[in-house]
Amino acid sequence: MKQLTLVIGHIGGVVLLTTRTLKYVGTLPRQFGRFVEQCFVIGYTSLPIVTILSFFIGSVLALQSGYSMENFGAKQFIGTLVGLSMARELGPVMVAILIAGRVGSAITAELASMKVYQEVDALVTMNIPPERMLVLPRLAAVLVMMPVLALIANLCGWYGGALICQYTHFISVDSESYFAALKRYMDWKDITDGLLKAETFGFVIVLVCCYIGLNTRGGPREIGASVTKAVVTSLILILVLDYFVTKALL
């Protein structure tokens, strides 16, 4: 019962943080510099690892499915399988997990440090809302960059699969046939559904990490505990939301 009360309290705290943050949306143009800085941190610095991992995920997916589908004479549909899997599921989920581990942990550590060393209290004393200065630029940046990263992940995964299909002897599907199969059974809804998933995951990641960071109490040891809690909570929410968002979009 105590754990349930704690979870409900955290959910309520995140909702309140969201409403307080959204009140300051009109001030975002005056924080354009912070917004651009966060776009760089969230998007540009995450791009290399997103590119590499998505390329190899698409490659492994094509290799594994090609090995199985070859036995059933269905290797011409590998492009369809890789395309739909990356666009609807693997692309947005993989990007969200990377952002939670790489960016979410950094956000929590930074805000928790500011809270522990009373920098957040100093902002409140100067009548500067932490939600406006610390949360809003990060939230806006992640909402802009998550669909971009998910789209790049899709493209890299598709081309990774095409490369494997063309140069693996037991698959031997040329790029033209691969992309023809990918286009034949995919439409824009498959892509937009995946981008909507990425947007939802990014929104939740930033708010959860900011909430936990801003509510850290104690000393330096608590900063590490807050980072762990934020990342674990974000990962669980990504997987839980993935089910409900997928069901809603079907």
Average pLDDT, the chain: 89
Under the banding of pLDDT at 50, 70 and 90, the label for residue 7 is low
Q: Helices then strands (H, E): number in the chain?
A: 12, 0
Alpha carbons 77 and 74: distance in angstroms, whole number = 6
Q: What is the pTM of this model?
A: 0.92
pLDDT in tens, 186-240: 889 999 999 999 999 999 999 999 999 999 988 888 999 999 999 999 999 999 9
pLDDT of 157 over the 90 cut: yes
142's tokens:
């992640």
Under the banding of pLDDT at 50, 70 and 90, the label for residue 160 is very high
Under the banding of pLDDT at 50, 70 and 90, the label for residue 1 is low
Under the banding of pLDDT at 50, 70 and 90, the label for residue 2 is low
What's the confidence (pLDDT) of residue 181?
Answer: 86
Domain spans of the chain?
Answer: 49-240
Strand extents, DSSP E, the chain: none
Alpha carbons 136 and 18: distance in angstroms, whole number = 9
* Residues 6 or more apart in contact with residue 198 via CB below 8 angstroms: 91, 92, 95, 96, 146, 147, 149, 150
Percent of the chain with pLDDT over 90: 63
What's the confidence (pLDDT) of residue 8?
Answer: 66
157's tokens:
């995964």
What's the confidence (pLDDT) of residue 220?
Answer: 82
pLDDT of 129 over the 70 cut: yes
What's the confidence (pLDDT) of residue 65?
Answer: 84
Query: Average pLDDT in the 117-122 region?
Result: 90
Alpha carbons 209 and 192: distance in angstroms, whole number = 26
pLDDT in tens, 44-88: 999 999 999 999 999 999 888 887 777 777 778 888 899 999 999
pLDDT of 4 over the 60 cut: no
* Residues 6 or more apart in contact with residue 171 via CB below 8 angstroms: 62, 63, 66, 67, 70, 75, 78, 164, 165
Query: Average pLDDT in the 166-194 region?
Result: 86
